Amino acid sequence: MLALTILGNNSAIPAFGRHPTAQVLQTQDEIYLIDCGEGTQERLSEYKIKRSRINHIFISHLHGDHYFGLIGLLTSMGLLGRANDLHLHAPALLEKIIQLQLEAASTTLPYKIYFHALGDEGPIANDKRVWVSSFKTSHRIDCWGFIFREKKNPRSIDPEKVKAYEIPAAFYDSLQKGHDYSTKKGTIIPNAEVTTAAVPPKSYAYCADTIYDEALVEKIKSVDVLYHETTYLKDLHARAAARYHSTTIEAGEIARLAGVNKLLIGHFSSKYESLDDFLSETSAVFANTELALEGCCFRIG
């Protein structure tokens, strides 16, 4: 099970109580931070998300509304005594920016940052429960999207059946992996007899900032949940294109072509107070659309 919480859904300038982009994706064990606009550390406190559980941070690109909150978060983690390693997946230049800011403050963080520069498309992290890969989007500067794919889930043990067959708990791990059980007398209990199929692994694709680009479709094909930006409503498609952003119907079209299950939209321009038209315009193209509203938690699977 993955759970996505939206910390910020606005583009460029904070407006109407909306903040620049940041999201957290949670598994049972880990919290992954995806982009980190200014004020993200405050949003984490507001939504009671434990920053100590964040061990991987993914920054899509170096426009400020996607990372200006990072240095504050990293510094606060240090002040709060973090000791665990932190993995930062981001465009190469971010390492230099952070180093310069730490030097300027004469600060040595009490934890280690492993910096992983984004460069090629493909796998970038292999964690306990998820694989993470990066892919390029089409934006004014180098920009990456991220796909989080759950690893295969364990099969579910039927508590009545294992009791009936008197299978010791020590063998449960093996059963969950799909192995049969052999009794002391050599009788084989087929796995399917005492377990049920695993929940299929779920996937989440975060498309960051991008112009309408059908090359994305293959990269995010059939994910369960897709986040695609909708900076503008459909009437401003020329402005969207000029600024390497997307409109409502463009996001809907990408979701439709990619055959995803659900589409979340965000990165709303500060010119819009109401978001109602974003939902109606996008839903007209792709029905299962939701607004990525701040504070909302979307369960994936």
Provide the binding-site residues for its own copies, judged by CB under 8 A.
12-15, 19, 38-39, 41-42, 45, 62-64, 68-69, 71-72, 75-76, 79-80, 91, 93-94, 96-97, 100-101, 103-107, 140-141
CB nearer to its own copies: pick between 149 and 243: 243
User: In this structure, what token pair is assigned to residue 233?
Assistant: 């409503």
Q: β-strand 54-58 against 86-90: which pairing, if any?
A: parallel
CB nearer to its own copies: pick between 76 and 283: 76
Nearest distance in Å: CB 138, its own copies: 15
C-alpha–C-alpha distance, residues 258 and 114, integer Å: 33
Nearest distance in Å: CB 67, its own copies: 9
Catalytic residue among 65, 120, 142, 276: 65
CB nearer to its own copies: pick between 5 and 269: 269
> Which residues, other chains included, contact 19 with Cβ-Cβ below 8 Å and sequence gap of 6+?
7, 8, 9, 10, 37, 38, 39, 40, 43, 294
CB nearer to its own copies: pick between 38 and 281: 38
- What's the residue count for the chain? 301
Nearest distance in Å: CB 74, its own copies: 9
The answer to whether 65 is a known catalytic residue is yes
| Beta-bridge mates of residue 57 | 33, 88
C-alpha–C-alpha distance, residues 28 and 2, integer Å: 8
Nearest distance in Å: CB 140, its own copies: 7
Residue 112's closest CA among 147, 86, 137?
Answer: 86
C-alpha–C-alpha distance, residues 73 and 61, integer Å: 17
Q: Which residues are catalytic?
A: 65
